[in-house]
Structure 1
Amino acid sequence: MTRPRPLVPRPDQADTVRTVGEFGVIARVLARAGSARLAEVGPGDDAAVVATPDGRVVATTDVLVEGRHFRRDWSSAEDVGHKAAAANLADVAAMGGTTTALLVGLACPADTPTSWLEGVATGLADECAPLGAAVVGGDTVAAAPGSEAVVLSVTALGDLGGRRPVLRSGARPGDVVALAGRLGWSACGLAVLRRGFSSPLAVVAAHRRPSPPYAAGPAAAEAGATAMCDVSDGLLADTGHIATASGVVLELDRAALVAACLVPDGPLQQVGAALGTDPLAWVLTGGEDHAFVATFPAGTPLPQGWTAIGAVRAAGTAPGVLVDGEAAEAVAAALGAGGTGHAHFG
């Protein structure tokens, strides 16, 4: 493993938010925003106007705080933009929808390089472009006095395309539990960066820029998925949300998860061996890969990209998640994880 190259931009007093000013920053950022296919009125007015062909709007918000969700010495500005967009695009897809537009709120110190903000805008635009979406508005404010942290608040709007929204509460006994996307890569990359290294590049890149399979969400809705969730906090934690909302038990199959997520001699095993960590811990409890987990009626052909990893059982005494019959909390503890997934304020 190799040491990371610092990515913090060098200060240039002629290129800071303080020097360029609010409207100068907005103009430079919007020049990189791209265009949203369904935007009837874009940036520049008091509000944007976005068409809603379905007649319903999917809406979600995520907040990224520097030092908690990203570090400028670990990630480029473009990385941060990609990551901020992905967290929201994945939430829309997990409802069975497709993102149509983003709104971005920014709080930053006055000495933030404008070029860094342009990089964030480029990352946002590049992540949205394949879906026909773009940033259509937002707000910029100065960070609180004494604060050096950048805060990004991103709101995504989406369209269901005539499909019913897929909720967390629809799983039923007998359903199949399935996964689309990869798990454990972002958490593995974070473990590498925390130890001062930057390789294997594949897992570090996965932490910097998630790669959610956005099309898998609408495809699952079309196929009749009964429940679905974006895996942002960890598989055990997020399947726990489905179990609680649906009043059922989700029993995951360890062998199926290993087969789906751990390529023999892959980067997770390599890093796990180097750090003395069981890579299954990252698969089960690591967040921010933004894979999707869903339940489907038994016998339903799974859409392309989806893999069966378990089954839904009746809750009995209480809803929850099991791995080969063992409670999620016990499995996480045995793997040395600090819990079943990320806990805000934990």
Structure 2
Amino acid sequence: MIEESFFNFYSGKTILVTGGAGSIGSEIVRNLLELDPKAIRVLDNNETGLFELEQELNSDKIRTLIGDIRDKERLMRAFEGVDIIFHAAALKHVPLCEYNPFDAVKTNVIGTQNVLDAALDQNVGKAIVISTDKTVNPVNVMGATKLLAERLTISANYYKGDKKTVFSCVRFGNVLDSRGSVVPIFKNQIKNGGPVTITDYEMTRFVMGIPQAVGLIIKAGVIAEGNEIFILKMPAVNIIDLAKAMIDELSPIYGYKPEEIKIEIIGKRLGEKLFEELMNEDELDYVMDNGDLYILNSERVLKKPEIHYNSNNALKLNKKQIKDVLKNYCI
């Protein structure tokens, strides 16, 4: 159910979504269309993705813009007259960023700086940057570049001078069934008769569905005042339990018995962590509990909320709960 405050805030506004043809970006666009905006500009370098989204939505409020966030001149033109920007464009796959580190910097760091600069120059009202829990104590290129993107975003609130633009971030965990995530990989492996490949028996992750992620992003756009990093409260899973639950649910659909689909341990990939964290220990001094989300900001909090911020120590979903989540969001 869409909150009335969302309608009041987004109605009549011009909104731009970078990376708008991607899993998260396109769902942001779909949800925003229900909130009576004046127009939604969808910027992406994926021509086919833009065309398919335009055909799917068939709305006169959609403006598809081919462009890359590495191209600041393109952003300057695209951001003219925009009220709110959701910056979802990024290189997000850990192994690809490990093997293409310079390109990860160009997109995730320089591209984000271009977005922030253009937002300031065009006097955009709010810019919400989509981030990841891999920014916390990063051990890989992707996490490190997204961490710098977060810091640039928050510090832009001090850099902007008298400009009105508000800069905030949204940080969340693994989005189930998004492109390149573990769920579609497991699906395809089960469809092909296995094996389902797991990197480590001990691996855990915070997880959420695409609707949850997008709901948080849209809410952040409403309540952002600058400096905040919004973090959704998410359950954690053991990846091995996720694999077993998916085998139980999907193998009959593809003509197999669950016991026919084997699980194979292949070892950690380059740059991969055994567990993820929602925030680091220093950030715990600056976090507020806001019901369905945590808010990190620049003011010290007198009473720390109780937070299971490590996916290894957080309460895990059991097999039945995982199956329920899969049915709601993925199957």
* Larger fraction in helix: 2
* Fold in common (TM above 0.5): no
Which TM-score bucket, shorter chain as reference?
Answer: under 0.3
Query: Which structure would you say has the larger RCO, counting Cα contacts within 8 Å and 6 or more residues apart?
Result: 1
- TM-score normalized by the length of structure 1: 0.25
